[in-house]
Amino acid sequence: MGLRERKKLDAWRTIRSTALRLISERGFDAVSADDIAAEAGVSRTTFFTYFPSKEAVVFDLDPSELQQWRALLEDPRDDLPLWDALTEVALGLARLLAERLPLQKRLFEQSPELCQSSRATCDSFEPDLKEWISRRSSDGDELRTALVFNTALAAFTTAIEAWDPDDSFDHFLEIIGDCLRWAGAGLASPAS
């Protein structure tokens, strides 16, 4: 890893942590891209070369996290049925996001618009995860694959919505498990 790459990663992390600090202090809307750039000792232009939008600085994955995410998907978990394996992936993702989730959740509560962008971030997982699902599922039905993906995402999102950031993280994992189990079992049938 050359000096260039190291500096880049440093810059990324400096901008990110500065942004999270400012935003958690003042709230998302009260911090401008200018503020973040200035506080991070970088130009506004540079900020936008590192992050495609102001929201991205809250939601984008650290390169090392991204690597973990890819690793998570590399194991096809052929030992488990599709939905169970998908549940494992969801739990793994949750653990990956663990550190920033409480802050993100608090920001959601402040401004509902942010929820939207968080879904955009989930969309950044979309291609990988869809490919994973379709590789795993026996039939090549695209509609079915898309439905499985969107439903799993809905279950995950529901868990995030329902979770209280002051609660323990284990409790969050339980909620995710519940949601996925219910969706897997079918919502037409009564809850077990």
Residues between 141 and 180 with contacts to a second copy, criterion CB under 8 A: 141-144, 146-148, 150-155, 157-158, 161-162, 175, 178-179
Region of 176 on the Ramachandran plot (φ > 0 left; ψ -120 to 50 alpha; else beta): alpha
Range 119-127, long-range pairs (CB < 8 A, 24+ positions): 119/157, 120/55, 120/59, 121/55, 121/56, 121/59, 121/60, 122/153, 122/156, 122/157, 124/60, 125/69, 125/93
Residue 54 contact partner, candidates DNA, a second copy, none, CB within 5 to 8 A by sort of partner: DNA
State the minimum distance, in angstroms, from the CB of residue 137 to a second copy. Answer: 9
2 binding DNA? (CB under 7 A): yes
Applying CB under 8 A, the span of 12-20, 30-38, 98-106, 112-120 interacting with a second copy comes to: 112-120
Q: Spell out, one character per residue from 6 to 35, where the chain touches DNA: x when CB under 7 A holds, - when not.
A: -xx--x-------------------xxxx-
Among 6, 44, 119, 171, binds a second copy (CB under 8 A): 119
The CA–CA distances, whole Å, from 94 to 16, 70, 82, 101, 174 equal 20, 14, 18, 8, 11
Residue 2 or 112: the one with the smaller Cβ distance to a second copy is 112
Query: What's the rounded Cα separation, in Å, for the pair 120 and 57?
Result: 13
Question: Toward a second copy, which CB reaches closer, 25 or 139?
Answer: 139
Of the two residues 50 and 149, which places its CB atom closer to a second copy in the complex? 149
Residues that bind a second copy (rule: CB under 8 A) add up to a total of 43
Report CA dihedral (17, 20, 21, 24) to the nearest 10 degrees.
-170
Size of the site for DNA (CB under 7 A): 24
